[in-house]
Amino acid sequence: MKTPLTMAALAAILLATGCLKDPHPSDPDPGPTAPGWVVSSWTVITSEQFPLTAPKVPFRKQEAIFHYNSLFKPVRKLNRSTLEGDTLQLYENYVDSFFYDDQHRVAELRGYLGHGLEYMTKYSYNAQDTLPAKMEYYQVNLAVLELFSTKEYFYEPEDVLAVTTSVHGIDSSWYDYENGNFMNYVEQYGITHYYQSYTDVVNPLLFHNIPNGLVIAAPLALEAPVRISRNQWETSLEIQNMVVDSVTMNAQGLPAIVHVSEPYSNGRRYHDIRYEYIPAE
């Protein structure tokens, strides 16, 4: 494993030579059987109603577009959004590129803003495991790629322990699951209740063909737990008490439209999440 100093020196050389641009990751060798469907894009259109007697007003649109390789593993995620108060003019925010090891597991995630590298996450695994044993997060600081933090993961049937090492010291936290679904995040300062209940609908995150939940976060989620939940959440306690009002399935029986409402004391915000899929055969 390279030391932070070695990584910084290498990054400085690559930046100086113009090599830290977004390359198209090469396809891995033929591997696992492809899934039936993968998410090609998701869109979140947010509107708000303040007060509740007022009409709904468009607030923002967010979009993620996924490109896949020949094994239907995502190689690139394009992230776009509008400015507040608009849902028409989309601007590209950043691009995530995914790189794989010889066992078709995500080994690196590189985040680009324009043509410049902004951050990099490295994943390492034990033996044949598909969930990472370690995650190393790097940020570009003054044109140098620096190690920001390291997380090590330890797995139990219904819990995951994460030990974080950074410039601030060492910290540990727990991710609690029930029936295969992420519920609570426990740290030294107390418990953060992320979700209260789940629907019977399958989680759309399972249709990215990546078992590692750290790689692609769900729409509206601030926390991306390493183990992907089995189902679509129904009640979220993450920020406000967001509630899934309805889920519309497509002809293939996959979640296509998720209507979410977010109540406030003086009004309400609405999020319409739309998923598009492509056959992976």
CATH of the domain at 273: 2.40.160
E strand or H helix at 64, and its extent? strand 57-68
Q: Which residues of 137-160 are buried (b: 16+ CB within 10 A; e: fewer)?
A: bbebeeeebebbebbbbeeeeeeb
pLDDT band at 33 (very low <50, low <70, confident <90, very high): low
Rounded to whole angstroms, the Cα distance separating 236 from 78 reads 26
Tell me if 69 is assigned to some domain. Answer: yes
pLDDT at 250: 96
pLDDT at 269: 94
Q: Phi/psi class of residue 198: alpha, beta or left (left: φ > 0; alpha: ψ in -120 to 50)?
A: beta
pLDDT at 10 over 70: no
Tell me the pLDDT of the chain averaged across its residues: 87
The first and second tokens of residue 3, run together, are 């030391």
Tell me if 268 is assigned to some domain. Answer: yes
Tell me if 189 is assigned to some domain. Answer: yes
pLDDT more than 70, % of the chain: 87
pLDDT at 247: 97
Tell me if 25 is assigned to some domain. Answer: no
Tell me if 171 is assigned to some domain. Answer: yes
pLDDT at 167 over 70: yes
Tell me if 27 is assigned to some domain. Answer: no
pLDDT at 256: 98
pLDDT at 192: 85
| Burial category of 261 from C-beta neighbours within 10 Å (exposed 0-12, middle 13-18, buried 19 and up) | middle
pLDDT band at 224 (very low <50, low <70, confident <90, very high): confident
The first and second tokens of residue 142, run together, are 């003054």
Tell me if 31 is assigned to some domain. Answer: no
pLDDT at 68 over 80: yes
- Read off the pLDDT of each residue in 47-53 and give the average, rounded to a whole number: 93
- Least-confidence region, from 109-118, 154-163, 188-197, 264-273: 188-197
The pTM assigned to this predicted structure is 0.84
pLDDT at 70 over 90: yes
pLDDT at 170: 93
* SS3 call for 54: coil
pLDDT more than 90, % of the chain: 72
Expressed as residue numbers, the domain containing 159 is 4-20+36-279
- Read off the pLDDT of each residue in 142-153 and give the average, rounded to a whole number: 93
- Domain total for the chain? 1
Tell me if 28 is assigned to some domain. Answer: no
